[in-house]
């Protein structure tokens, strides 16, 4: 018996300091047959070599080759694999939480608790007018239905008169010049009727909100409803116009080219009150005779989404009253005296809370509310937004963050203009012009200040899009990173915070402390909070 055995240790024990290679008794030649010769020369030989290397490394610990190949640094441009930044993301989240928690404590120490359920300015007159507008605005949808009902009846009669020629019904021939002129004359009358209808709806609502509804929230809800009905009515008229033309005068092959889903409800069978009512409640601005539908309503899903809307609405109200309002009020004297450094400091301080409020509002509207509405109406297409937070430029952001509006303008403004020979720049200019006007109505009318900030903020996106467009086309990661950075900086610092400051100052100049100070020829001061 060896010494190592008698002492209870072996040469392979790391405690000895030196590890001896494992001894292996060679196999007798009689044990090796011809059938496993290749296995011995193949995998068995490799195993023996690996065993030898491992035993060698265990014995000689100080000679391991640490630097055996050329390798770049992890964050170097020469790195073959991009490292994960999950840890940095977690660090940034922790820093944001800790930093904002400090601001929460500082805010409460400085101003106290500003939340007051009874401290609101919801006047009885405003609530009554808001409810009246809510029920009055859909009446213009009923008028739009009646207009299309008359047009559908006329189309049926016109097709019956031409029923003597089979070609005019199956689309084997093109419409004559007289048929086209007659259709255009009819369409002009229908278009004028629709234009008068929706213009009266939007103009009347705008007038009532601007002159008779004081509270901005109630006015905003009424104006949003009017704009949505205006857009939906326009889509309803334009879509049925094309369907009517395809129904009366189809060119050869056009009937088969209609979207497959439209065959579920072909024109003029889609001109029903129930069809229009569904379109009114459906979470889309683009009219179709039929939509993809789900099989059933998941009420648990609906209640969860409604709960999210309620919780996020309370959160937005809390952040607005407790954090945003003091910052806005403390900015009034800076704006009045044109103290540019202080205004920039206010913008930077407001950017964080405005971004939090905007993100909460985005999730509440596009993820929670629209999904709940889609579930109740069994609306199948829930793609209300894409990953806009990864936008590599402003153009990509506007295409991704609000897809219902983007789809409307692309379908009813951009694409028709392009098909008529207009350039991409001209069509895009028209889209942003109409969108800028609607943004000004949406913000300026409820706040009773049409100062053009929302209009310019939307319209000036065009040059910024032109600047960031080359970055979207670059395939390098640095170009995408730069484009995304420009988007976030322009969006979080110079976009919403500046607009919020301007409209809040205009509101205070008209109704608040600024107007009182100006009437007394005194510099405006921050109200006591």
How remote is the C-alpha of 430 from its chain's centroid?
Answer: 21
pLDDT of residue 120: 64
pLDDT tens, position by position, 207-236: 999 999 988 889 999 999 999 999 999 999
**CB 210, CB 448: distance < 8 Å:** yes
**E-assigned strands of 300-392?**
none
Instruction: Check residue 16 and give its pLDDT.
Output: 44
**Per-residue tokens: 431:** 């889209």
| Burial of 508: CB neighbours in 10 Å, binned 0-12, 13-18, 19+ | buried
Q: How many CB atoms lie within 10 A of CB 172?
A: 14
pLDDT band at 523 (very low <50, low <70, confident <90, very high): very low
Alpha-carbon distance of 146 to 273, in angstroms, equals 9
Other beta carbons within 10 angstroms of residue 124's beta carbon come to 7
* Contact indicator for 22, 51 with CB cutoff of 8 Å: yes
Is the predicted pLDDT of residue 11 greater than 90, yes or no? no
User: What per-residue confidence (pLDDT) applies to 525?
Assistant: 45
Predicted local confidence at residue 342, as pLDDT: 79
Q: What is the mean pLDDT of residues 279-295?
A: 93
Q: Is the pLDDT of residue 515 over 60?
A: no
| 13 — pLDDT class (breaks 50, 70, 90) | very low
How much is the pLDDT for 99? Answer: 78
- The answer to whether the CB of 249 falls within 8 A of the CB of 180 is yes
pLDDT of 475 reads: 66
Is the pLDDT at 256 greater than 60? The verdict is: yes
Residue 229 near residue 138 (C-beta atoms within 8 A): yes
Which pLDDT value is given to residue 510? Answer: 74
Q: Do 413 and 431 form a contact (C-beta atoms < 8 A)?
A: yes
Q: If we measure between CA atoms, which residue out of 314, 326, 313 comes closest to residue 106?
A: 326
Four-residue CA torsion sign, 436, 442, 445, 449: negative
Residue that is written with structure tokens 């937005």 in the block: 316
Q: Using CA of residue 9, residue 11, residue 14, residue 18, what is the dihedral sign? A: positive
Give the separation between CA 162 and CA 171, rounded to whole angstroms. Answer: 12
Q: Convert the pLDDT of each residue in 236-246 to its tens digit.
A: 999 998 888 88
Rounded CA separation 185/237 (Å) = 15
pTM more than 0.85: no
Confidence of residue 5 (pLDDT cuts 50, 70, 90): very low
Q: What percent of the chain has pLDDT over 70?
A: 82
Find out whether 313 and 511 touch, Cβ atoms under 8 Å.
no
**pLDDT by residue (tens digit) across 411-449?**
999 999 999 989 988 999 999 999 999 999 998 899 888
Cα separation values, 251 from 167, 176, 226, 239, Å = 10, 10, 37, 18
Kindly report the average pLDDT of the chain as a whole number: 80
- Does pLDDT of 14 surpass 60? no
The rounded distance, in Å, linking the Cα atoms of 360 and 316 is 7
Q: Which residue has the tokens 């601001």?
A: 103
Tokens at residue 494, please? 């110079």
Could you read off the pLDDT of 354-405 as tens digits, one per residue? 888 888 999 999 999 999 999 999 998 999 998 888 888 788 888 888 899 9
Query: What was the pLDDT predicted at 248?
Result: 81
DSSP states of 177-229 = HHHHHHHHHHHHHHHHHHHHHHHHHHHHHHHHHHHH---HHHHHHHHHHHHHH
Length of the chain measured in residues: 529
d(CA 309, CA 303): 10
Q: Which of 293, 291, 375, 320 is nearest to 500 (CA)?
A: 320
Query: Which of helix, strand or coil describes residue 148?
Result: helix
Q: Which of 280, 282, 302 is nearest to 292 (CA)?
A: 282
Question: What per-residue confidence (pLDDT) applies to 340?
Answer: 79
Highest mean pLDDT pick, 42-56, 58-72, 76-90, 181-195: 181-195
Work out the angle between the directed axes of helices 477-492 and 461-473 (0-180°, nearest 10): 160
DSSP 8-state secondary structure symbol assigned to residue 41: I
CA 116 to chain centroid: 32
Confirm if 473 and 377 have CB atoms less than 8 A apart: no
Sign of the CA dihedral 227, 230, 234, 237? positive
The region of weakest confidence among 294-308, 426-440, 467-481 is: 467-481
Mean pLDDT of 495-503: 76
- For residue 378, the model assigns a pLDDT of 93
Coil vs helix vs strand at 293? strand
Q: Is pLDDT above 50 for 9?
A: no
Q: Is the pLDDT score of 182 beyond 50?
A: yes
Per-residue tokens: 124 = 């009885």
Residue 271, pLDDT > 60, answer yes
CB atoms within 10 A of CB 341: 8
* 439 assigned to active site: yes
CA distance 27 to 23: 12
Q: How far apart (Å, rounded) are the C-alpha atoms in residues 216 and 279?
A: 28
Q: How far apart are CA 125 and CA 215, in angstroms?
A: 10
- Res 203 pLDDT > 80: yes
Contact 155, 268 (CB under 8 A): yes
Q: What is the SS3 assignment for 379? A: strand
Lowest mean pLDDT among 53-57, 66-70, 105-109, 175-179: 175-179
pLDDT at position 42: 61
Please name the residue that has the structure tokens 């500046």.
Answer: 498
Burial class (CB in 10 A: 0-12, 13-18, 19+), 296: exposed
pLDDT at 118: 65
Cα torsion through 287, 289, 291, 294, rounded to 10:
130
pLDDT at residue 281 in the model: 93
- Given the residues 140, 249, 439, 448, the one annotated as active site: 439
Give SS3 for 454.
Answer: helix
Distance CA 212, CA 216 (A): 11
Task: Return d(Cα 483, Cα 279) in angstroms, integer.
Answer: 37
């Amino acid at each position: 018996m060896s010494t190592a055995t008698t002492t209870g240790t072996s040469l392979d024990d790391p405690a000895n300091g030196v590890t001896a290679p494992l001894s292996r008794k060679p196999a007798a030649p009689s044990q090796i047959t011809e059938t496993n010769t290749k296995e011995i020369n193949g995998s068995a030989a490799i195993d023996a070599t690996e065993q030898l290397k491992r035993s060698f490394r265990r014995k000689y610990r100080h000679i391991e080759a640490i630097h055996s190949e050329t390798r770049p640094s992890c964050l170097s441009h020469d790195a073959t694999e991009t490292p994960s930044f999950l840890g940095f993301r977690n660090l940034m989240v922790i820093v944001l939480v800790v930093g904002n928690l400090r601001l929460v404590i500082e805010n409460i120490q400085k101003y106290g608790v500003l939340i007051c359920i009874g401290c609101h300015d919801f006047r009885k007159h405003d609530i009554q007018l808001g409810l009246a507008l809510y029920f009055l605005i859909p009446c213009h949808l009923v008028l739009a239905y009646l207009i299309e009902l008359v047009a559908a009846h006329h189309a049926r009669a016109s097709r019956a008169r031409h029923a003597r020629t089979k070609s005019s019904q199956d689309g084997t021939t093109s419409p004559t010049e007289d048929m086209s002129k007659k259709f255009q004359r009819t369409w002009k009358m229908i278009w004028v009727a629709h234009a008068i209808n929706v213009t009266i709806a939007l103009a009347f609502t705008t007038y009532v909100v601007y002159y008779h509804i004081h509270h901005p929230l109630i006015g905003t809800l009424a104006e949003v409803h009017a704009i949505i009905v205006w857009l939906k009515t326009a889509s309803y008229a334009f879509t049925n116009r094309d369907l009517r033309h395809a129904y009366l005068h189809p060119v050869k092959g056009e009937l088969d080219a209609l979207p497959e889903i439209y065959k579920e409800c072909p024109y003029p069978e889609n001109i029903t009150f129930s069809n229009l009512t569904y379109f009114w409640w459906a979470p889309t601005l683009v009219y179709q005779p039929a939509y993809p539908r789900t099989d059933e309503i998941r009420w648990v899903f609906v209640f969860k989404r409604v709960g999210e809307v309620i919780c996020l609405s309370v959160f937005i109200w809390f952040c607005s009253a407790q954090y945003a309002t003091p910052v806005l009020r403390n900015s009034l004297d800076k704006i009045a005296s044109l103290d540019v450094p202080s205004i920039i400091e206010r913008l930077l301080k407001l950017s964080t809370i405005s971004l939090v409020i905007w993100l909460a509002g985005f999730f509440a509207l596009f993820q929670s509310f629209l999904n709940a509405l889609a579930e109740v109406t069994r609306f199948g297409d829930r793609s209300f937004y894409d990953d806009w937070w990864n936008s590599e430029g402003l153009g990509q952001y506007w295409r991704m963050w609000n897809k219902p509006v983007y789809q409307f303008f692309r379908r009813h403004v951009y694409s028709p203009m392009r098909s008529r020979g207009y350039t991409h720049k001209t069509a895009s200019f028209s889209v942003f012009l109409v969108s800028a006007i609607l943004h000004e109505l949406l913000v300026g009318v409820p706040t009773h200040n049409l100062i053009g900030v929302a209009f310019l903020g939307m319209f000036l996106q065009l040059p910024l899009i032109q600047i960031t467009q080359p970055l979207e086309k670059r395939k390098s990661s640095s170009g995408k990173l730069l484009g995304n950075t420009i988007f976030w900086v322009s969006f979080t610092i110079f976009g919403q915070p500046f607009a919020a400051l301007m409209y809040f100052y205009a509101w205070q100049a008209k109704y608040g402390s600024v107007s009182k100070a100006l009437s007394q020829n005194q510099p405006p001061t921050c109200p006591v909070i």
